[in-house]
Structure 1
Amino acid sequence: MSLKRWGNVLAACAILLLTACDVVKLDANGNPMLPKAADSAPGYDNMTPQQIAQQTWQSRVVQAAQDKALDTPAFISSLSASPGSKQSYFLRVTGPVTGEDTQNEREKKITIMVDAKPLLVQIGPVIRGNTIRDAAGFQFEDFTNQVQFAQLSKAYNREAASHLPQVDTAWMGKQVSALLAVTIAQGKVTDAVALSLTEEAAQ
């Protein structure tokens, strides 16, 4: 059989196979887009860190924080339970605002008293560190594009700052309810970031 005829036979077989199966979508390069297995890792490869942050903010941060945040007693216990380890998680606290650090207008912080101890909390608009990303449970191996993992922290920090109210001197002395992401190491808080801040109604 000639090569030309053999090629025609192969083409005919390919057509028969395609017509017998469901239509498979093709990507921009003409390659088939096969569905991922149910247990495969999320597909972040073609997303920017900002897109990942926006798409997962509600589920991986807000909802997770509302469902899993530690309360103050559990938080105090965690500080002494693992004095040598570093970990990040969500925390819900209520307490008075006793200080405002505005030396750097771009990196504002407030102090909230928690169990009679001051907790310094980043409120932005510029927020630094990996606390939100790590509290949300993202791991280095979740990404084949490791630049995304490194830059996801910045994207989450920007997203957090965009949801926070403007805090000024009028907040001083007020009782607030705060949902936070915190990192502890050596039995101490090394970073705390506000995810939501709400003034408590006056009694």
Structure 2
Amino acid sequence: MSLKQWGTGLLCCSALLLTACRVVDLDENGKPVIPPDPNAKASFANQTPAQIAQQTWATRVMEQARDHALDASALHNMAASAKGESFFVKARGTVEKVELGNERERVVTFTLNDRPVQLQVGPMIRGNAIRDAAGFKFEDFTNQVQFAQLSKAYNREAVKHLPAVDESWQQQPVTVLMAVTLRNGALSDAAALDLQRETP
């Protein structure tokens, strides 16, 4: 092969290589940004609990809650056998009492299956009902701390989407979408996801 032919071949190979190469974006530090593998298992290792809550609120919480929430009858049937399990529940009832005395922990009490339910409406919501009803598992996270903090992040996210509740809601019919924990036949840590006052 002559030098001219060798050079032509080299140019052809170089052109093919450049055509096959894909330009990779660089981050602020000049390092390549590797696109995520669409087949890889979801990982939250590099996200804060607040980021996870914000990014997954619509799909992991609200969409699941609206599509798969238990009604009052199904909740009643689950109560006897559930041992610390959390569920999404949709129910209708009448607000018996609105407790606004504690500025951090406001509670709406309504009757469900002939029992009073104390529904947390914020600004502070306690418990893990939202996180656990959404199906998150400890093994999805880097450590126990991140897993625990996700509950708090979800509880704070829930409050952002709730209407302001005051004494005028008392004795009014409502539709409630909530996350609850069932333990030993009793309902606890009920956290409001959506609360709508209906026309009497």
TM-score w.r.t. length of structure 2: 0.83
Structure 2 residue 92 is matched with structure 1 residue 94: yes
Provide the secondary structure at the position in 2 that maps to 1:103: coil
* RMSD of Structure 2 on Structure 1 (CA): 2.5
Shift of the alpha carbon at 1:48?
Answer: 1.3
Residue number in structure 2 paired with 1:49: 49
Residue number in structure 1 paired with 2:68: 68
Counterpart AA for 1:157: N
- Structure (1 or 2) with the larger CA radius of gyration: 2
Instruction: Flag structure 1 segments of 5+ consecutive residues without an equivalent.
Output: 1-15
Does the CA-based 8 Å contact 2:172-2:198 persist in structure 1?
yes
Instruction: Flag structure 2 segments of 5+ consecutive residues without an equivalent.
Output: 1-15
Shift of the alpha carbon at 1:130?
Answer: 1.1
Shift of the alpha carbon at 1:106?
Answer: 0.9
Shift of the alpha carbon at 1:26?
Answer: 6.0
Cα distance change on mapping 1:53 and 1:188 into 2, 3 Å: same
Does the CA-based 8 Å contact 2:100-2:166 persist in structure 1?
no
Where do residues 63-142 of structure 1 align in structure 2 (5 Å cutoff)?
63-80=63-80, 82-83=81-82, 85-142=83-140
Find the aligned partners of 1:193 and 1:54 in 2 and give their Cα distance.
17
Residue number in structure 2 paired with 1:4: none
Structure 2 residue 155 is matched with structure 1 residue 157: yes
Shift of the alpha carbon at 1:107?
Answer: 0.3
Residue number in structure 2 paired with 1:6: none
Counterpart AA for 1:50: A
Shift of the alpha carbon at 1:191?
Answer: 1.4
Does the CA-based 8 Å contact 2:26-2:33 persist in structure 1?
yes
Counterpart AA for 2:62: V
Shift of the alpha carbon at 1:129?
Answer: 1.3
Counterpart AA for 2:121: I
Does the CA-based 8 Å contact 2:161-2:194 persist in structure 1?
yes
Shift of the alpha carbon at 1:200?
Answer: 1.1
Counterpart AA for 2:147: F
Cα distance change on mapping 1:143 and 1:19 into 2, 3 Å: farther
Where do residues 25-36 of structure 1 align in structure 2 (5 Å cutoff)?
36=36
Find the aligned partners of 2:36 and 2:49 in 1 and give their Cα distance.
21
Find the aligned partners of 2:29 and 2:181 in 1 and give their Cα distance.
43
Counterpart AA for 1:126: M
Where do residues 7-22 of structure 1 align in structure 2 (5 Å cutoff)?
20-22=20-22
Structure 2 residue 183 is matched with structure 1 residue 185: yes
Residue number in structure 1 paired with 2:195: 197
Shift of the alpha carbon at 1:31?
Answer: 6.6
Percent pairwise identity: 52
Shift of the alpha carbon at 1:148?
Answer: 2.3
Find the aligned partners of 1:88 and 1:153 in 2 and give their Cα distance.
12
Find the aligned partners of 2:120 and 2:146 in 1 and give their Cα distance.
23
Residue number in structure 2 paired with 1:147: 145
